[in-house]
Structure 1
Amino acid sequence: MEQLLRPIYQERASRPNTLGVIIVGKKEDVSPKTDTFDTILLIITKENKVPVFTKHYTFDGKKAAMHIITEKQLHKWLLVGTNKKLIDWILFGKILFDRNEYLTNLKQTVKDFPFYGRNIKMGIEFAKLVRQYLEGKVCFEKNNHLDAYDHMIESLHHFARLAILDKGLYPEITVWSQVKLIDAEIYKLYKELIGSDESIEKRLELLFLASEFLIHSRTADGARHILNVMAQQDFWTIQELHEHEELKNYSVDLEVFIEFLISKGFIQVETVETKGNGLYHRHYKIDPTTI
């Protein structure tokens, strides 16, 4: 398949906008890491009209996918961790074209896993964890145990990814295989939730108790990124927080995360008078002792 794709990637490599080309072959009969395609052709460009451009090809019963992505989109996926296949492609794909060792340096960066990247990933995972935990607790208190179970399964997945990130590793698709080796406590909670002979109510009850302790012990690490961002100025409106380039990645979890951190004393609320009688704006600042 590489021979057949050669004219395509050579034509792209000749363009000054192209930074690198990687080819990835399927390793299993059914391979989620290549979206079941036999071959993936990943082309990274400095910029493009669209951040992601994809084409599919077929030849003699085999199929290939070409993905052209901008450098900005690549960094966003690496930073936020929403495209886990990309890590595998970068680390294990074959480099076909490498302008000024762009891909060589990128591979090394991914292997080294810079601390900044870990901070923001941990912040986003922790914010998602808080939402799932709080929603699960509400469902449990209303005796909606199956809904609570779903939320707590999700919260454990976020716990698992946090444990992996804390070790300076990237969470893989097979996240529980990783966690089994590096965090026996979280792996045990997961096994007990899905496999215990206790009633679902009892299992959830025990998990909420354990989760409360785990969340408390991990809050400082999980909040580090957002607090470092907020330390850049004295006060923030909620709109300013939403529009900050890095905090945009928290998406719909940002506000519930801020309220959680207020309840834990990491963020303080300052009220500012409005023109309405007795009505105040809420502004937010960090407690400097938490940094």
Structure 2
Amino acid sequence: MDVLLRQLYQDRASEEETLAILLVEKEYLPLSVTDGFDVVIVLINHNQTISWEVKHYKIGEKRVSFHSLSQAMMHQTLIVGNHRRLVDWLINGKIVFDRNEFLKEVKERIDSFPPGDRAKKMTIQFTKMLRRFEEGKSLFHNGHFFDAFSNMMHSLHHLARLALINHGFYPEVTVWEQVKQIEPQTYKLYQELLYSEESLEKRIELLILATELAIHSKTEMGSQHFLALLEDKEGDLFSIAELMSLHEVEDYCVDLELLIRHLVEKGLLNTEKLGTKVMGIEKTFYSIEK
């Protein structure tokens, strides 16, 4: 088995564009997400034309999934957090090839979690939390309790990830085990949502109030990346189109309007109306509160 498994990746290790290869074996890492496969092979390369390619194999009775992804895709995933299984693989996988200690440095970066990475990840999670919260609250007020419950649960998950990132940890597969140790008050909200003897309607209502308080207390922390970005930009007034076109916000651009509205409500952004060619129509611009 081991010999055959090595044959799958040995030739790729000699290719110049291959940076690292690691193995995730379900037998030894039962909590890792492998989508039902017994072994996952992850190859990271310089090839920018293929962002993420997957091939499936069978070796004896074992099913193998071979993932080839670009260095750029790996770094984007570490920032955005949209593939938590990859973070888990990078942290827990067995390194079988590592050109110039590339993967060792990636692991060290995950461990040290640089402030720049942390700030952006917090803003991504904060905007996602806002989105789920607003949708959950709207559904609740319109009597769609099951859908409201689902959205509030997701909002709570983003709150948990935000808390972990703020404490310098990458959110892993077992997020709530991490949160239980690091921020027990957020873990308590999760328990109350799941196990409270109150009616579903009452549980959601209480969670909405608690989440509103959490959002209020974490707004500046959760918006740090975006607010710092505006402080560094030349000019005082920005249109929504200018803000959404910034390369630095592309990872949370989809929820940027919601974030801006929230920051205006909290007094962290100002609005200014300027006239257009059409009488009675004004264009809205935004500026950071100095």
Tell me, which stretches of 5 or more residues in structure 1 are unaligned?
A: none
Select which of 202, 224, 243 maps to 2:245. Answer: 243
Over residues 209-251 of structure 1, what are the superposed CA-to-partner deviations in whole Å (9 max), with x where a residue is unaligned?
Answer: 2222211111110010111122232232222322222311114
Bigger CA drift: 46-55 or 135-144?
135-144
Amino acid of the structure 2 residue aligned with 1:36: G
2-structure distance, mates of 1:102, 1:95:
11
1-structure distance, mates of 2:213, 2:113:
28
Partner of 1:231: 231
2-structure distance, mates of 1:157, 1:29:
23
**TM-score normalised per structure 2:** 0.92
Partner of 2:102: 102
Bigger CA drift: 106-115 or 198-207?
198-207
1-structure distance, mates of 2:146, 2:97:
51
1-structure distance, mates of 2:203, 2:6:
55
Structure 1 residues 29, 84: CA separation in 2 closer, same or farther (over 3 Å shift)?
A: closer
- 8 Å Cα contact 2:57/2:63 also seen in 1: yes
* Superposition map of 1:29-108 within 5 A: 33-108=33-108
Amino acid of the structure 2 residue aligned with 1:173: V
Bigger CA drift: 81-90 or 271-280?
271-280
2-structure distance, mates of 1:45, 1:36:
25
- 8 Å Cα contact 2:26/2:32 also seen in 1: no
Structure 1 residues 114, 275: CA separation in 2 closer, same or farther (over 3 Å shift)?
A: same
Bigger CA drift: 87-96 or 38-47?
87-96
Partner of 2:289: 287
Over residues 94-133 of structure 1, what are the superposed CA-to-partner deviations in whole Å (9 max), with x where a residue is unaligned?
Answer: 2222211111111111111112111111111111111222
SS at match of 1:285: strand
SS at match of 1:33: coil
Partner of 1:120: 120
Amino acid of the structure 2 residue aligned with 1:152: M
Given the alignment of the two structures, is residue 12 of structure 1 paired with residue 15 of structure 2, yes or no?
no
SS at match of 1:34: coil
2-structure distance, mates of 1:93, 1:199:
43
- 8 Å Cα contact 1:30/1:36 also seen in 2: no
SS at match of 1:231: helix
- 8 Å Cα contact 2:32/2:89 also seen in 1: no
Select which of 222, 234, 255 maps to 1:253. Answer: 255
State the shift of 1:77 in Å. 0.1
1-structure distance, mates of 2:5, 2:160:
39
1-structure distance, mates of 2:29, 2:19:
31
Partner of 2:156: 156
- 8 Å Cα contact 1:132/1:151 also seen in 2: yes
**TM-score normalised per structure 1:** 0.92
Amino acid of the structure 2 residue aligned with 1:96: V
1-structure distance, mates of 2:104, 2:144:
51
SS at match of 2:252: helix
Amino acid of the structure 1 residue aligned with 2:213: F
State the shift of 1:9 in Å. 2.0
State the shift of 1:202 in Å. 2.2
Partner of 2:192: 192
Number of residues paired by the alignment? 288
2-structure distance, mates of 1:53, 1:182:
36
Partner of 2:268: 266
2-structure distance, mates of 1:178, 1:83:
18
- 8 Å Cα contact 2:263/2:269 also seen in 1: yes
Structure 1 residues 109, 150: CA separation in 2 closer, same or farther (over 3 Å shift)?
A: same
Tell me, which stretches of 5 or more residues in structure 2 are unaligned?
A: none
